[in-house]
Amino acid sequence: MSPVSFDPRLPPENNVSPTHPLAELAALLGGILLAAVLLTAGATLALDWLVPHLPASLEQRVFSGLWPAPEAGAGSQQRDPEQATAEALMLRLASHWPDNPYRLHLAVVENDEVNAFAVPGGLVLVTRGLLKRVTSENELAFVLGHELGHFHGRDQLRTLGRGLVVGLTLQALAGTAASGLPALATRMTELRFARAQEEEADRFGLALVEAEYGHVDGATAFFRRLAETRDQDPTGPGNAWLSTHPLGSARIQALEAQAREQGWPETGSLTPIAWRSASARH
């Protein structure tokens, strides 16, 4: 049929690597995840070592510029009485922390959820929902003392640093391998302190409460109430604190044990909330 005689061999098939794609996937994914884990762990260790060496004044200078500006009209006359009372209480508690390096501030977040945060640089954020739901000053004092405990442990810096490292690692991963994994992992590390950090902050907070009132009554009452309302209403506003501050009965027990060990009275007279009594007089 063809006018030309031509009888070549077929070329060898050597242009495709023989590796099975699934084997390659396993090797790549395993290696990269291992590297990410090692990197994060290494960064966490490095931060734990580094953070105590950073002076609080430096932290304050760097971060205070990032705080939200005080709301307009927050002058001395129109000052929110709840914010003023809570801040004064926090400063009173902080006076029992002898070598406190921070200039502390407190701001109220207009949110009905119950939560409080320690922001790097010495700012404590408290939600309006929390202020509405505390029934005594002692309850609020423990929440604030707990947040001061995070400053004492420099937890915000560590967590921020870790979040940064994790975020950057995930960013590098997400840049090439598009998937929902990064979003998920960022959520999990979102401003959550390690359990040990929470317990340490609890211990510190309880010590401040005892120093202020001479007893620790009321300190855990608020948490107990939150836990109860969560059982009744799992999606209620009280849940926010619990979702960022995992609260088992173990934590309450640890606080009670601490009080017993130190010989701190567990009952005493509760101080009413100043702004409540003020508005009651009207």
SS3 for 227?
helix
In the bound state with other proteins, the residue whose beta carbon lies nearer, of 188 and 280, is 188
Q: What are phi and psi of 137, to 5 degrees?
A: -65, -30
In the bound state with other proteins, the residue whose beta carbon lies nearer, of 235 and 267, is 235
Sites for other proteins among residues 208-267 (CB under 8 A): 234
Output the smallest distance, CB 52 to other proteins, in A. 34
104 binds other proteins (CB under 8 A): no
Q: Which residue has the tokens 């000052």?
A: 79
Cα 114 to Cα 15, 38, 131, 263: the distances in Å are: 62, 36, 8, 31
Query: Could you give the string, one character per residue 125-164, with x where binding to other proteins holds by CB under 8 A and - elsewhere?
Result: ----------------------------------------
The CB-side HSE value for 193 (13 A sphere, CA atoms) comes to 28
Q: Give the interface segment with other proteins, choosing from 5-13, 84-92, 225-233, 273-281 (CB under 8 A).
A: 5-13
Sites for other proteins among residues 29-48 (CB under 8 A): 29, 31-32
Sites for other proteins among residues 10-29 (CB under 8 A): 10, 13, 15-17, 19, 21-22, 24-25, 28-29
76 binds other proteins (CB under 8 A): no
Q: How many CB atoms lie within 10 A of CB 274?
A: 16
H-run or E-run covering 144 = helix 137-152
Cα–Cα dist 14/20, whole Å? 15
Query: Could you give the string, one character per residue 172-201, with x where binding to other proteins holds by CB under 8 A and - elsewhere?
Result: xx--xxxxxx-xx-----------------
Which two three-digit tokens encode residue 15? 């242009």
Cα 182 to Cα 23, 154, 165, 175, 189: the distances in Å are: 23, 26, 13, 10, 11
Cα–Cα dist 138/205, whole Å? 11
Residues of the shown chain interacting with other proteins in the complex, contacts defined by CB under 8 A: 2-4, 6-8, 10, 13, 15-17, 19, 21-22, 24-25, 28-29, 31-32, 172-173, 176-181, 183-184, 234
